[in-house]
Structure 1
Amino acid sequence: MLEAVTFIGKNLGVDEEMLLYLIEDLTSPKKDEKQYLVKLQFFEKGGKLEFNFDFEEIPEEDKSRKDFLLRWRFVGNAKGNIPQIFLTVTNLNYLVGSTLYNLYQTLLRRGRQNSELALSIDKVLKEYFVLLPNGESLFNIRKIGFPLKNEKLKEGLSELDKLLYQLKQYQQRGQTDKEAQKEVKDIIKKAKELIKKKDLAKLVAQELSEEIARKTGVKKRQIVLWTIVLNDRPLVDLSPYDKVIIEHRTEGFEEEVLEGYCSICGEKKERVSPTAFKRLQFFKPYITDKIGFASELDMKGFSRNFLICEECFNSLLVAERYMLSNLGFRIGNINFLLLPSFLLTHDLEEWRVDFSAIVEKLKRKTQNIVDFTGQVRSITDETEFERKLREMLQEMGEGGIEDKALLTFLFYQKAQSEFRVLGLIEDVAPSRLYQIFRKSNQLSNTAVELLGGVSKRDWWLDLTKLYYLLPLKEGDKTEHKKLLYLYNGLLKRNPLDYNFLITQFVILARIYLTDSLAGTNQERRRITQENRDWVLSQEILRAGLLIKLLKEENLLKGVRNLPEISEMPDLKPEIKSYLLEMKYNEPQAALFLMGYLISEVGKGQYSSGHKSKPILDKINYQGMSWQKVQQLSNLIFEKLRQYDKLRFNEQVYSEMKKLMDKYRGEKDWPLTSEENVFYILSGYAFGSRMSGKKENLEEKEEEE
């Protein structure tokens, strides 16, 4: 896997375009709000530096946004305890704190004190920052004339003024005795502690951002980037800022180097590093900064664990940002990276020419099975939708050099500096993605014919739809295993346990029908009380389509071989067509018909003034024994008569009883208690879905 990531970095062209691939993307805005960059502007006027601000809208379209972020050199924020030196940041605290000073000192250490960037920073620092001899700095917000509203900030700045005044007095007296030096050190220490204890940089940033938001009419949450401009020139445009960014990202390699073999490329190099991994921002597959993971519990022991050469390190550095920006996907609250491994890499230059196009094709193919319906959500015209679908099918099935790759799906969680791998699905052929996409298309066509629907997308099966077929507890660190088990089976063609799936579908129904969506992945769908029954019906029917898909691909284990139903001439055509197409066996069909009749009773109860459907309370969602099923069948007969539904459903009831009577005893009944519930609910869902058609039919019969 690590070799695959390195290969991506090498193909991106580390030397020529490294800065491009270090650019980070922004999180998506909430509620389709616009996002803005605010420029803190300084102007030289009459020998003085004046302050103002301006803002610029960040483009929404992907390519334009990426170009914008590149222009403003947004490479994220330094992570952990590494000093902040970047000039375009998401957190204003950095710019009003020590960022400028840190960057200035970095330039001095590298002999760039006369560079355009260093001279510009020096002007801003001297005019608008409070500087302490120990390197602490703070933006002097009082100098720009904004009224201060925060009492804590006023109090903190007042205390800082007193300490700075004392420091100035000592400096003016020029005292050099030990006692005076000790006093100076104590004052500097107190000032530093005051800035940190009172969190003055944060308070200054809060005051400044609130005032800017008020004056511009932009909401604070819409301001997602901050930067600095001097005399109409962004500091990020000044030389040698680009070099500083690259040096900062790669300098971790310089901390400790020795001669040895690179663990990635296998070559012997004069310069390899045992500790460079700790400077990676996102992808940290090895722990190289905690002594407990080193050989012989010695920091020098890392040299025997893992070594990396500079070329491979730079490739990983580029690849991690590229993967996050270009090969990252999200399903619900689960993230994953797509890692392509290319089988033919003997001609690296030839691959490099087409690499971006190849990866883009693999990305589109993956996106098609991740969230097809999301991609076509905005297409309301069905003719246009069908045209788009044909294009996708053609591209998915074309085949090309990208099909010579194998795909790894790396599922992960990222919290601050922690990167936790949840699971890997390795060596997936791109052709398998096409097979899943094509099969989903076939099933959705079938579902539209059997169940109706405005569009086949109503019945599509993609990884996002499957995510909502499983009831997952939010906050439970083990729940993802259920989802990855399903994805692994589908992508790698590993048979899935039939009883596991049935149990999950029954639990899904239970949390819907008992109003227990809170704390689960279903809650994020924001389902209303009014459409809950409709959504559940659609999900149960979709679950049936998934089982059909898995059966047809021989990907179910634990299924009993029972006789399928034959022709049933007395049944309504739509019911008969569904049962035959789904290849139900006799017990499944009996329960399905029972569920259908329950939907009829429920409709009668609702029409009679019930706000809910009390008949559903007779279903035990923990599972139902054969005896309980028989009792329910007798109750249904009485309820059909009570709500005047029997005359429309006598043939359905008769067929149900005929099928059930073939199994007189509980020992003869072949289905589990969970299966009993699932197939009853499948019939109920079918009846609920078809209720519009039934109402029309009954109205015609009443007229006759």
Structure 2
Amino acid sequence: MSDNKLTIAGENAVILFEGLFKSIEQSEIEKWITNIDIAFKPIEDKIDYFKEELENQEINDFEFHIIFFKTDGKSCAVKKSIENISIIHFNEIIKIFKEVGQLIRKEHFNLGLIYRMIPVQVNKKKEQLNINRVLDFYSSIIQGTTISVHTVFDYYSEALACSRRKFLAKKADNYYNLYQLGRLVNKETKGFEYFVKEISIFYLGLIKVLTKLEILDKEVLTVEKDISELELNPTIQEKENFLCLNGFSKEAKGLFYLGCMTYQIGRMQEMQNHKNKPILNKISYMGMGTKDILDLYCVLLEKFNQYQSAIRKKAIYLIIDFEKYHHMATKYLGNLPNVLGNEKENLFYLMSGYSSCIYIKKSAEEEDTNDSEQ
């Protein structure tokens, strides 16, 4: 039994196997324990997924159960169980994560990374207080039960809000599970931007996975087939291709470009020796309602008028790009009050645009960021 123990999402778990028609050889159990462990490891580098594709029908004729438990060394108590998991279905889930990881260019995208995406609080003893939200999410994915789109965007918004507070405090004293938060928090604005870029693409990938599994309660980011054939500036064309391929609606595209505008103002502020990019404080990380969007839009235009004379002499490309993004934002948004929906969904589209302008200058291990148009 001890050989079947794993750590999943920071919690103790034991894997129990059950043959459907006959008993399972111990050698096969050991192989699948290794594969299940890999699937749930939130490894932040390139990993190998299932080491072997066990296609033999006899080998696949079994189920397994994941039992999460806590122990004080003397007794055990079950925290959560995910039962009757078909190994065939589980293998399909892993394949979908791998396919989506290739689409979003994140080869380490797997089930385990979900643990790095959903904020989990700890107490003074470092015990995870609300880990059930992660375990429940795993259960829904594995057992095919419906997940609310609002829940996904709630977690995204919460991840940004929690991380933003920690970056401002320059102290990662909670939410230790969030993606590289402990290593990034001392890098201030650059670290926060790296976090936003990574977490935004992870949530885009997660939405794609849930869509492929057909377990979202409503359609979101439905893939559009037509990519604009108009002659556009290469920078805009690249973003248009991304937006169309990922199924952003007209309104979502407008918010995306508003995020691009926000990034350009941040760069202008940085060049004016405002290293912390004060424009980031104009974003409501718990959700962007209509008033928040309108206020941000007005501030962006105000700051653009304020900075453009000085910036024009230093970096004319920032002026040019801001004007391009402004044109695209107004093209898609039109009458703002009539088109905006869920506040946290709005935040996702806005920050997806912001993060699309961030260029990772060095290796991921160095976690540095810089401007993509330099």
TM beyond 0.5: yes
Which residue does the alignment assign to 2:16?
A: 339
Q: In 2 relative to 1, CA 374–567 (structure 1 residues): closer, same or farther, beyond 3 Å?
A: closer
1:312-342 deviations in whole A, cap 9, x for unaligned? xxxxxxxxxxx22x21111342221111111
CA shift for structure 1 position 611 = 2.6
Question: Is residue 471–residue 520 contact of structure 1 (8 Å, CA) maintained in 2?
Answer: yes
Paired residues for 1:438-457 under 5 Å: 438-448=95-105, 456-457=106-107
Which residue does the alignment assign to 1:580?
A: 244
Equivalents in 2 of 1:375, 1:608: separation in Å?
36
Q: In 2 relative to 1, CA 648–463 (structure 1 residues): closer, same or farther, beyond 3 Å?
A: same
CA shift for structure 1 position 579 = 0.9
Q: In structure 2, the residue corresponding to 1:518 is in which secondary structure?
A: coil
Which residue does the alignment assign to 1:499?
A: 150
CA shift for structure 1 position 580 = 1.7
Equivalents in 2 of 1:429, 1:669: separation in Å?
43
Which residue does the alignment assign to 2:314?
A: none
Equivalents in 2 of 1:376, 1:688: separation in Å?
21
**Counterpart AA for 1:440:** F
CA shift for structure 1 position 441 = 2.1
CA shift for structure 1 position 495 = 1.9
**Counterpart AA for 1:555:** I
Residue 463 of structure 1 pairs with residue 111 of structure 2 = yes
CA shift for structure 1 position 687 = 1.7
Paired residues for 1:187-266 under 5 Å: none
Residue 606 of structure 1 pairs with residue 273 of structure 2 = no
Q: Give the fraction of aligned pairs with identical amino acids, expressed as a percent.
A: 16
Equivalents in 2 of 1:375, 1:636: separation in Å?
37
In the alignment, which of 583, 593, 615 is matched to residue 257 of structure 2? 593
Which residue does the alignment assign to 2:36?
A: 366
Q: In structure 2, the residue corresponding to 1:522 is in which secondary structure?
A: coil
CA shift for structure 1 position 361 = 2.2
Which residue does the alignment assign to 2:293?
A: 629
Equivalents in 2 of 1:367, 1:563: separation in Å?
32
Which residue does the alignment assign to 2:122?
A: 474
Residue 511 of structure 1 pairs with residue 162 of structure 2 = yes
**Counterpart AA for 1:580:** C
Q: In structure 2, the residue corresponding to 1:506 is in which secondary structure?
A: helix
Q: In structure 1, the residue corresponding to 2:121 is in which secondary structure?
A: coil
Residue 672 of structure 1 pairs with residue 320 of structure 2 = no
Equivalents in 1 of 2:150, 2:372: separation in Å?
38
CA shift for structure 1 position 670 = 4.6
Larger radius of gyration: 1
Question: Is residue 69–residue 78 contact of structure 2 (8 Å, CA) maintained in 1?
Answer: yes
Q: In 2 relative to 1, CA 402–512 (structure 1 residues): closer, same or farther, beyond 3 Å?
A: same
Equivalents in 2 of 1:376, 1:651: separation in Å?
36
1:497-519 deviations in whole A, cap 9, x for unaligned? 11011011101101111227422
Q: In 2 relative to 1, CA 410–394 (structure 1 residues): closer, same or farther, beyond 3 Å?
A: closer
Q: In 2 relative to 1, CA 670–599 (structure 1 residues): closer, same or farther, beyond 3 Å?
A: closer
Paired residues for 1:376-525 under 5 Å: 389=48, 395-396=52-53, 398-448=55-105, 456-457=106-107, 460-475=108-123, 479-515=130-166, 517-522=172-177
In the alignment, which of 189, 194, 197 is matched to residue 537 of structure 1? 197
Which consecutive unaligned segments of at least 5 residues does structure 1 have? 1-322, 346-350, 378-388, 449-455, 699-704
Q: In structure 2, the residue corresponding to 1:422 is in which secondary structure?
A: strand
Which residue does the alignment assign to 2:6?
A: 329
Q: In 2 relative to 1, CA 601–522 (structure 1 residues): closer, same or farther, beyond 3 Å?
A: farther
Equivalents in 1 of 2:69, 2:221: separation in Å?
39
Q: In 2 relative to 1, CA 400–394 (structure 1 residues): closer, same or farther, beyond 3 Å?
A: farther
In the alignment, which of 284, 290, 294 is matched to residue 620 of structure 1? 284
Question: Is residue 122–residue 129 contact of structure 2 (8 Å, CA) maintained in 1?
Answer: no
1:643-691 deviations in whole A, cap 9, x for unaligned? 5423123222111111111x453xx335111112222122222222468
Higher RCO, 1 vs 2 (CA within 8 Å, ≥6 residues apart): 2
Which residue does the alignment assign to 2:357?
A: 687
**Counterpart AA for 1:610:** H
Q: In 2 relative to 1, CA 635–508 (structure 1 residues): closer, same or farther, beyond 3 Å?
A: same
The answer to which of 431-440 and 672-681 deviates more is: 431-440
Provide the aligned C-alpha RMSD in A: 2.9
TM-score, normalization: structure 1?
Answer: 0.45
CA shift for structure 1 position 559 = 4.3
CA shift for structure 1 position 402 = 2.9
What is the count of residue pairs matched by the alignment? 343
TM-score, normalization: structure 2?
Answer: 0.82
Residue 654 of structure 1 pairs with residue 310 of structure 2 = no
Equivalents in 2 of 1:619, 1:372: separation in Å?
29
Equivalents in 2 of 1:535, 1:368: separation in Å?
23
Which residue does the alignment assign to 1:526?
A: 182
CA shift for structure 1 position 566 = 5.6
Question: Is residue 35–residue 50 contact of structure 2 (8 Å, CA) maintained in 1?
Answer: no
Question: Is residue 618–residue 632 contact of structure 1 (8 Å, CA) maintained in 2?
Answer: yes
**Counterpart AA for 1:468:** R
Equivalents in 1 of 2:206, 2:285: separation in Å?
21
CA shift for structure 1 position 604 = 2.3
Equivalents in 1 of 2:147, 2:64: separation in Å?
21
Equivalents in 2 of 1:408, 1:576: separation in Å?
44
Equivalents in 1 of 2:227, 2:219: separation in Å?
23
Q: In structure 1, the residue corresponding to 2:25 is in which secondary structure?
A: helix
Q: In structure 2, the residue corresponding to 1:438 is in which secondary structure?
A: helix
CA shift for structure 1 position 694 = 8.8
Q: In 2 relative to 1, CA 560–584 (structure 1 residues): closer, same or farther, beyond 3 Å?
A: closer
Question: Is residue 637–residue 646 contact of structure 1 (8 Å, CA) maintained in 2?
Answer: no
Equivalents in 2 of 1:467, 1:579: separation in Å?
27
CA shift for structure 1 position 521 = 3.1
Paired residues for 1:259-298 under 5 Å: none
Q: In 2 relative to 1, CA 561–433 (structure 1 residues): closer, same or farther, beyond 3 Å?
A: closer
